């Protein structure tokens, strides 16, 4: 595996002549995984959501139904353009070009979504991202992370390494852990409150 974070040329090749390089729009695997990610979110509605690594905006469009403000970003200009096209009718949803960890936004968020992103960053860069997550979450904020478990050629980390680093460095309560043969989905919160507790049922 590479010791460096993946650069933009890697993604330029993926998007060359292909608006949906991971078939997020059509594959049942991707649509089901997206539905599971949305279903695991403990809050029905969030004030502000940040989604770095938005790809072509399929997850962005779904997240936009769960918040008052959505900021999606990607290092790849083609991906940002596709996401902007998906969100163009939504005044509360925005997409911009940004590379992590250097271009982390100044806003604060109630939910941050790391969806198929972490393993493209080396351990040092991802550690900076984790610190940025902690600084930019509002009180009671949450982080959800979902990653493919198979090894990705050219990526400096695996899903297992990414989620182990999150658990070790976040200093947050792990509220949800969902593992399948294909992917790992986990959610952490600054507060340990469950959905039932939030609704006063226990």
**End-to-end CA distance of the chain, in Å?**
46
| pTM for this prediction | 0.94
Does residue 146 sit in helix, strand or coil?
Answer: strand
Quote the CA–CA distance of 178 and 180 in Å, as a whole number: 7
Q: Structure tokens of 164?
A: 């182990």
**pLDDT tens per residue across all 202 residues of the chain:** 457 888 878 887 877 877 777 777 889 999 999 999 999 999 999 999 999 999 999 999 999 999 999 999 999 999 999 999 999 999 999 999 999 999 999 999 999 999 999 999 999 999 999 999 999 999 999 999 999 999 888 899 999 999 999 999 999 999 999 999 999 999 999 999 888 888 877 7
Ordered by start, the domain boundaries in the chain are 8-198
HSE-up of residue 181 (Cα within 13 Å, Cβ side) = 1
Q: CA-based angle 92:93:98, to the nearest 5?
A: 135
**CATH number assigned to the domain with residue range 8-198, chosen from the 4 options 3.40.50.150, 3.20.190.10, 3.40.50.300, 3.40.50.720:** 3.40.50.150
Quote the CA–CA distance of 118 and 158 in Å, as a whole number: 8
Backbone torsions φ then ψ of 184, nearest 5 degrees: -120, 130
Cis peptide before 49 (omega within 30 of 0): no
């Amino acid at each position: 595996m590479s010791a460096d974070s993946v650069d933009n040329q890697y993604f330029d090749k993926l998007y060359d002549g292909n608006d949906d390089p991971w078939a997020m729009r059509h594959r049942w695997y991707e649509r089901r995984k997206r539905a599971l990610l949305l279903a695991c979110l403990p809050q029905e509605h969030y004030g502000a959501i940040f989604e770095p690594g938005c790809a072509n905006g399929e997850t962005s469009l779904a997240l936009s139904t769960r918040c008052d403000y959505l900021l999606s970003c990607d290092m790849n200009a083609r991906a940002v353009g596709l996401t902007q096209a998906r969100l163009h009718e939504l005044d509360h949803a925005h997409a911009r070009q940004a590379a992590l960890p250097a271009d982390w936004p100044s806003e604060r968020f109630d939910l941050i979504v790391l969806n198929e992103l972490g393993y493209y960053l080396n351990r040092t860069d991802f550690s900076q991202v984790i610190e940025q997550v902690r600084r930019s979450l509002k009180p009671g904020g949450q982080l959800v992370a979902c990653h493919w478990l198979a090894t990705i050629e050219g990526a400096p980390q695996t899903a297992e390494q990414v989620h182990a680093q999150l658990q070790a460095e976040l200093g947050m309560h792990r509220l949800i852990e969902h593992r399948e043969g294909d992917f790992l989905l986990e959610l952490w919160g600054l507060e340990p409150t469950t959905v039932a507790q939030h609704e006063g049922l226990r």
